[in-house]
């Protein structure tokens, strides 16, 4: 019998890759089904057709098989990671990122699916704009889903044609980058989206409180002389959105939650069965506002880095399930834009290629989250919020899979990123947990 054809470690996608293969020997973690054990996953025609937990292919037995094998021994196999909060900049700022380059960065970070925010130039506030994204996404290595605007031109005044956006493929609506400040507009958005069972994602910020602020309002901001953004600016809007969700019965999702007060507001709302979900970014559970004393503009983001107390509250919220998802808020900016005085630099950092390593290093290794809990926040939870038929390792489901070496240590090299932008504060940082393979619809689109 022919010897097994083993997929080489540095394999790149080719036209000759077989449509039938086996991912052998990995510890399969699928929070949706509760599966957490060593298994072989059989892929055929882009879908999962068998999950074998008994008669496993061993390293010693590979010579007796003629199947193509992707080796996963000593690795973890998860559903393909899903990032529900990404800025791709196309149309308008293709010099910073494109739909294709953002997806390339995503699959390098283990994300088989990413959701792009609508604050492009022009914004994604009509059917044609949504269709444009999906046309471009046909050339991307991973799956790209579109989030439409809540208001026309993202001006916060008049609702978009929400039904038309959904028909074109929008999986949610948001004015991210800007809050929906008008409470009546937010109320109507929550009422209309009930008809389509999609969430309204909101960037929670009271602009009257945060005006001209560039970092967290604290003792540190006073000492270094930078105008602060108080935690209250976020918490007031979180409270308002929770009240509106309770009143309308609509679904609200709080983007990039960053304060202890916001965590507690969401926790109490969930106890009351209000339809609220939320996400947190890796930079908000790893970095604190004291670092801004370095004036590194890659530490400037909105919401801003908060206090150590806020970080502890966020970790507690992740641990007890208050926080549903981990999302990157990947926000590319050119070197020229960031290489200015702190006050003049734009908000935002990239995060697709460091997110997994930060989750492993900062949450899993210290025991704050189990692997299963962490994977849920990056797969099935965002899939359920957005009603995507993804995020599970299930027979008949698309073979969207991420294979991870949980013990591999690596140093962040920003210059090697697939993203067109390099604005990350994590350059030179040592992390643990590295993507080995990213598989989309049964095709290897990345190997590390």
What's the half-sphere exposure (Cβ side, CA atoms, 13 Å) at 281?
29
* Structure-block tokens of residue 441: 């619809």
CA nearest 371: which of 23, 34, 25, 52? Answer: 34
Are 186 and 244 a contacting pair, CB within 8 Å?
Answer: yes
Catalytic residue among 329, 339, 373, 405: 329
* Structure-block tokens of residue 339: 């290489």
CA nearest 350: which of 329, 320, 376? Answer: 329
CA dihedral 10, 13, 18, 20 (to 10 degrees): 80
- Nearest-angstrom CA–CA distance, 282 and 349: 11
* Structure-block tokens of residue 243: 């009240």
CB burial of residue 10 (10 Å; 0-12, 13-18, 19+): exposed
The kind and range of the H/E element at 27 are: strand 20-30
Q: Which residue has the tokens 């290489």?
A: 339
- Nearest-angstrom CA–CA distance, 203 and 229: 14
Whether residue 202 lies in the annotated active site? no
- Nearest-angstrom CA–CA distance, 107 and 86: 13
Which active-site residues does the annotation give? 329
């Amino acid at each position: 019998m022919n010897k097994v054809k083993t997929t080489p470690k540095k394999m790149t996608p080719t036209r000759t890759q077989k449509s039938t293969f086996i991912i052998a020997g990995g510890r399969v973690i699928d929070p949706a089904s509760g599966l957490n054990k060593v298994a072989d996953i059989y892929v055929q025609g882009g879908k999962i057709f068998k999950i074998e937990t008994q008669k496993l292919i061993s390293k010693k037995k590979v010579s007796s098989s003629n199947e193509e094998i992707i080796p996963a021994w000593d690795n973890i196999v998860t559903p393909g990671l899903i990032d529900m909060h990404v800025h791709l900049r196309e149309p308008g700022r293709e010099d910073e990122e494109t739909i294709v380059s953002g997806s390339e960065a995503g699959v390098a970070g283990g994300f088989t699916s990413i959701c792009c925010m609508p604050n492009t130039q022009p914004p994604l506030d009509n059917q044609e704009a949504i269709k444009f994204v999906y046309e471009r996404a046909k050339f991307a290595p991973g799956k790209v889903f579109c989030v439409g605007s809540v208001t026309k031109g993202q001006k916060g005044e008049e609702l978009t044609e929400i039904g038309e956006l959904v028909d074109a493929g929008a999986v949610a609506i948001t004015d991210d980058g800007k809050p929906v400040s008008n409470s009546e507009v937010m109320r109507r958005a929550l009422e209309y989206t009930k008809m389509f069972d999609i969430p309204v994602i909101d960037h929670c910020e009271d602009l009257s409180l945060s005006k001209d602020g560039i970092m967290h309002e604290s003792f540190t901001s006073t000492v270094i002389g930078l105008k602060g953004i108080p935690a209250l600016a976020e918490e007031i809007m979180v409270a308002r959105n929770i009240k509106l969700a309770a009143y309308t019965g609509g679904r609200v999702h709080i983007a990039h939650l960053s304060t202890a007060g916001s965590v507690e507001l969401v926790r109490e709302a969930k106890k009351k069965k209000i339809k609220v979900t939320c996400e947190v970014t890796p930079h908000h559970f790893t970095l604190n506002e004291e670092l801004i004393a370095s004036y590194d503009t890659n530490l400037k983001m909105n919401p801003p880095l908060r206090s150590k107390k806020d970080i502890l509250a966020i970790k507690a919220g992740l641990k007890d399930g208050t926080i549903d998802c981990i999302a990157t808020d990947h926000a590319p900016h050119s070197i020229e834009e960031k290489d200015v005085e702190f006050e003049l630099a734009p908000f935002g950092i990239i995060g697709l290629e460091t997110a997994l390593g930060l989750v492993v290093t900062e949450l899993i290794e210290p025991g704050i989250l189990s692997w299963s809990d962490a994977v849920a926040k990056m797969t099935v939870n965002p899939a359920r919020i957005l009603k995507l038929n993804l995020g599970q390792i299930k027979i008949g489901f698309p073979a969207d899979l991420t294979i991870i070496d949980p013990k591999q240590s690596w140093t962040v090299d920003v210059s090697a990123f697939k993203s067109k932008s390099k604005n990350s504060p994590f350059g030179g940082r040592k992390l643990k947990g590295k993507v080995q393979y990213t598989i989309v619809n049964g095709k290897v689109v990345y190997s590390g």
